[in-house]
Amino acid sequence: MKATRSILVGLVSVAAALAAGHLVAGLVSPLASPFLAVGNTAIDLTPHPVKDFAVRTFGENDKLVLLAGMAVVLAALGVVAGLLSRRSPWPGTVLAGVLGVVGIAAVLARPTTTGWSVVAPIASLVVGVAAFRWLWARSPAEVPGRRKFLISTAAIAAGAGVAAVGGQLLAGRVDVEASRRGITLRPGQKAPEIPFGADFSREGTPTFLTPNSKFYRVDTALSVPRMRAEDWRLRVHGMVDNELVLTYDDLLRRPLVEKTITLVCVSNEVGGPYISTSNFIGVDLADLLREAGVKNGADQLATRSVDGWTCGTPVASIMAPGSNAMLALGMNGEPLPLERGFPVRMVVPGLYGYVSATKWLVDAELTTFDAFDPYWAQRGWGKKAPVKVMSRIDRPKAFERVPAGKFVVAGIAWAQHIGIDRVEVRVDGGPWQEATLATEVNVDTWRMWRIELDLAQGNHTVECRATDRTGLTQTSDRAAPVPDGATGWHSMVFTSVAGA
Ligand SMILES: Nc1nc2c(c(=O)[nH]1)N[C@H]1C(S)=C(S)[C@@H](COP(=O)(O)O)O[C@H]1N2
Ligand SMILES: [Mo]
């Protein structure tokens, strides 16, 4: 067989296999799509530094990059299968079978796999092998059969396209958007207005509240879980006196409160971007646990999302008076956006997101730290991770050229749930000077700072360090984010120029 034809046979068969799996998954369970299951497994197996690299390099497109990379690898395998099968259909058949088995294994290994899900990767295997054999049999050794071959290939390729789109539409048929649109949240207790002067956004800091679309995003979900509020249930169980099963309406019947809270990710390098602030609307989590009755000795609340991610939070951090821990239903006045964990997520001020902020929450088990290791603890991250006092310079930007003379340096500082006492700044290793802090909103949020400096022409390095309300000053020791959060002083190199 000619090389071009054998390549075409391989490529079209791979496409048909993937599309068939996607279509059947759309019918039975979207996460059972073998393509997504392999991608999700890849995410779980990826060592954290690589994941960090991916997030740093591709930002919120990291998942798109992964899916595109997988498509390229699969296409390459299709090409190889085709080329190996120029004389006999067997090498390609075997390769198609092996890929099919990998898909089945990936789906079976997903924590979300239930009963019928496995038919999706089985469909992939069967269709992949069948398409390959059928096309191979129709690819002629010489030119005369060309037309028939091209028509067959085009037909399968078109079928694959229709199946893939169909699968996508079916997966989206659960109308979460409509469910979300139908919800209005009316907190009985509104968050206080953000006072004028709570940020220095005109001088380079973020705005105090982060618009929902700009809020940082970190999660392992390759496809955003789509669950309607009507279908949502939360089971509270384990070491409790009364097991609870709550619906979304049950939560709406409880007192809804609105609180301004800053969320931060442990993956931040010093100076990193994964920190944002929102007015979260939700119900008090400690009240809810008190209703369930936490048994003595239960020190960890293990929570799970609908896509199988797990998180462990110290019970003490939730139950402490004024913890402000909540099950959040909304952000900035609207129901949670889908990628923020709709219908319900957890928020516990003062703890990094990976030990506190479960999105798409469906299960809460009272247990102990000895008995259970959640997702990131299994991968070498700390089991307990209170937020470390930290500060960041937002202005000037690295290597910026700024006017010599008077110039305002500005940034943010945070020590959630403890509060910031002061921020100091020094230039070129000189004496520490105290920055002006913006109006405090509450201790669970970031605090903006600014300082006016008078700088001579030339290169400068500016550094900052924050001190929290307990008197703890940020250490200068540089530590990486693993295992429980980076430390060190943020610094910025820039140039003051005349007449800039
Ligand atoms: N279901 C689920 N919830 C999750 C995660 C996740 O991977 N899956 N990541 C956590 C981490 S590491 C952080 S920092 C926060 C980020 O929340 P955001 O994406 O809304 O900013 O969500 C937490 N909740
Ligand atoms: Mo995180």
Query: What Cα–Cα distance (Å) separates residue 253 from each residue in 185, 257, 322, 341, 362?
Result: 11, 12, 22, 20, 18
Please tell me if the CB atom of residue 359 comes closer than 6 angstroms to any atom of ligand 1. Answer: yes
499: left (phi over 0), alpha (psi -120 to 50) or beta: left
Please tell me if the CB atom of residue 485 comes closer than 6 angstroms to any atom of ligand 1. Answer: no
pLDDT of residue 448: 98
Residue 2 Cα to ligand 1 middle (Å): 50
Q: Which helix (H) or strand (E) holds 93?
A: helix 90-109
Query: What Cα–Cα distance (Å) separates residue 116 from each residue in 37, 122, 307?
Result: 15, 11, 16
Mutate to test the pocket of ligand 1, among 351, 359, 375 (most ligand atoms within 8 A of CB): 359
- 96's CB contacts (< 8 A; 6+ apart) are 13, 14, 17, 81, 125, 128, 129, 132
Could you give the angle at which helices 146-171 and 3-28 cross, rounded to 10 degrees?
Answer: 20
Specify the residue with its C-alpha closest to ligand 1, atom 5. Answer: 219
Please tell me if the CB atom of residue 360 comes closer than 6 angstroms to any atom of ligand 1. Answer: yes
Please tell me if the CB atom of residue 52 comes closer than 6 angstroms to any atom of ligand 1. Answer: no
Q: Which helix (H) or strand (E) holds 101?
A: helix 90-109
Specify the residue with its C-alpha closest to ligand 1, atom 16. Answer: 218
Determine contact, residues 106/34, Cβ cutoff 8 Å: yes
Specify the residue with its C-alpha closest to ligand 1, atom 4. Answer: 358
Tokens of 232: 């949502």
Residue 340 Cα to ligand 2 middle (Å): 13
Q: Break the chain into its structural domains and give their ranges.
A: 3-171, 201-379, 390-497
Q: State how far Cα 371 lies from the chain centre.
A: 26
- 268's CB contacts (< 8 A; 6+ apart) are 274, 275, 390, 481, 485, 486
Please tell me if the CB atom of residue 381 comes closer than 6 angstroms to any atom of ligand 1. Answer: no
Task: Give me the residues of the chain with pLDDT under 70, please.
Answer: 48-49, 56-60, 141-144, 174, 500
* Residue 395 dihedral angles phi and psi, to the nearest 5°: -145, 130
Quick one: which of 196, 203, 212 has its CA closest to 441?
196
Please tell me if the CB atom of residue 312 comes closer than 6 angstroms to any atom of ligand 1. Answer: no
Closest ligand 1 atom, residue 218 Cα? 19
Determine contact, residues 92/136, Cβ cutoff 8 Å: yes
Closest ligand 1 atom, residue 346 Cα? 24
Cα–Cα dist 476/56, whole Å = 23
Residue 232 Cα to ligand 2 middle (Å): 24
- 156's CB contacts (< 8 A; 6+ apart) are 12, 13, 15, 16, 131, 134, 135
pLDDT of residue 33: 86
Quick one: which of 118, 136, 158, 149 has its CA closest to 34?
118
Quick one: which of 6, 4, 35 has its CA closest to 132?
6
Query: What Cα–Cα distance (Å) separates residue 70 from each residue in 75, 132, 161?
Result: 8, 20, 18
pLDDT of residue 222: 85
Q: State how far Cα 453 lies from the chain centre.
A: 38
| Topology agreement, domain 201-379 and domain 390-497 | no
Closest ligand 1 atom, residue 225 Cα? 1
Length of the chain: 500
Task: Quickly list H helices, 186-260.
Answer: 248-253
pLDDT of residue 491: 98
Please tell me if the CB atom of residue 446 comes closer than 6 angstroms to any atom of ligand 1. Answer: no
Side-by-side strand order, sheet with 401-403 = 401-403, 490-497, 458-468, 420-427, 433-434
Round the CA-based radius of gyration of the chain to a whole number and report it. Answer: 27
pLDDT of residue 49: 65
* 392: three-class secondary structure by DSSP: strand
Specify the residue with its C-alpha closest to ligand 1, atom 8. Answer: 219
Closest ligand 1 atom, residue 352 Cα? 14
pLDDT of residue 223: 84
Closest ligand 1 atom, residue 360 Cα? 1
Per-residue pLDDT reduced to its tens digit, 367-425: 999 999 999 999 999 999 999 999 999 999 999 999 999 999 999 999 999 999 999 99
pLDDT of residue 31: 78
Cα–Cα dist 56/216, whole Å = 12
What class has domain 390-497?
A: mainly beta
Residue 354 Cα to ligand 1 middle (Å): 6
Specify the residue with its C-alpha closest to ligand 1, atom 9. Answer: 219
pLDDT of residue 143: 63
Please tell me if the CB atom of residue 303 comes closer than 6 angstroms to any atom of ligand 1. Answer: no
Mutate to test the pocket of ligand 1, among 212, 218, 376 (most ligand atoms within 8 A of CB): 218
- 233's CB contacts (< 8 A; 6+ apart) are 245, 246, 247, 362
pLDDT of residue 141: 66
User: 201-379 is classed in which CATH architecture?
Assistant: Alpha-Beta Complex (3.90)
Closest ligand 1 atom, residue 305 Cα? 1
Please tell me if the CB atom of residue 63 comes closer than 6 angstroms to any atom of ligand 1. Answer: no
Please tell me if the CB atom of residue 288 comes closer than 6 angstroms to any atom of ligand 1. Answer: no
Specify the residue with its C-alpha closest to ligand 1, atom 20. Answer: 340
Specify the residue with its C-alpha closest to ligand 1, atom 18. Answer: 217
Residue 17 Cα to ligand 1 middle (Å): 32
Q: Which helix (H) or strand (E) holds 319?
A: helix 315-319
Number of C-beta neighbours around residue 204 at 10 A? 18
